[in-house]
Amino acid sequence: MFDRHQDLKTIRRCKRGEEAAFAEILARYRGPIYNLCHRMTRNPEDARDLSQEVFIKVFRLLDRYDEEFAFSSWLFRIATNHCIDHLRRNRMRFLSLEGVTGPDGEEFELQIPHGGPEPDTVLERKEAVQRLEEVIADLPPHYRAITLLRHQQQLSYDEIAEVLQLPLGTVKARIHRARAQIQQMLEARAYDI
């Protein structure tokens, strides 16, 4: 999906100090990174701040980028971790129970079922996309990130494994569990998409 060779050339120009090259990187990845941050936080202001911080962080860390890996993978890794850190810092936003361990020993958050649509958002939730976004936003952060990388960014399992630095089997298992949770939440809330 992303041109690895083209990215590498642009990054090398960035490292030589060409300001226009970093503007090219911004133009290429602004959309994907902003979308990822937006769907991770479901808040436009947070998404803007987080995605801008991601690009500034990437610039500062350019010298540490290992050219053996795709630049897009490195960028998505930084963005995903940045969003997850942000969500952790703002745990109060989530109705979650911490420290629950799944069948594979992996810790995840239990979401308390939603009590039903708020009166002032009934109209909003008529839109199928918004229902789905709501459900995605209620996934534990790791599942949310993996779902967005797979479905929104259309990354392959291998690419996601590279981004998240996880074994392929773990990536597959997490995606499967994330989708199963989405389906369960849709059913539990009687959301028809």
Q: How far is the CB of 151 from another protein (least distance, A)?
A: 4
What's the number of CA atoms in the CB half-sphere (13 Å) around residue 137?
Answer: 18
**Strands, E, within 9-128: which ranges?**
96-101, 107-111
* Closer residue to another protein in complex, CB, 99/103: 103
Q: Is the CB of 163 or the CB of 185 nearer to another protein?
A: 185
- Least Å distance, CB 119 to another protein, is 25
**For another protein, the closer CB: 39 or 86:** 39
CA distances from 137 to 37, 87, 108, 147 (A): 11, 11, 14, 11
- Asked if residue 143 lies in contact with residue 84, where contact means CB atoms within 8 angstroms, the answer is no
For residue 125, the minimal CB distance to another protein (Å) is 14
97 or 188: CB nearest another protein = 188
* Smallest distance from another protein to CB 99, Å: 28
Residues with Cβ within 8 Å of residue 76, at least 6 apart in sequence: 32, 33, 36, 149, 153, 155, 163
- CB 26 → another protein: shortest distance, Å? 5
| Closer residue to another protein (CB): 25 or 91 | 25
Which residues are at the interface with another protein (CB under 8 A)? 5, 8-9, 12, 15-17, 19, 22-23, 26-27, 30-31, 34-35, 38-39, 44, 47-48, 51-52, 55-56, 59, 63, 128-129, 132-133, 147, 150-152, 154, 157, 175-176, 179, 182-183, 186, 193
* DSSP code per residue over 120-134: GGTTGGGSHHHHHHH
Distance between CA atoms of residues 96 and 104, nearest Å? 20
CB atoms within 10 A of CB 130: 16
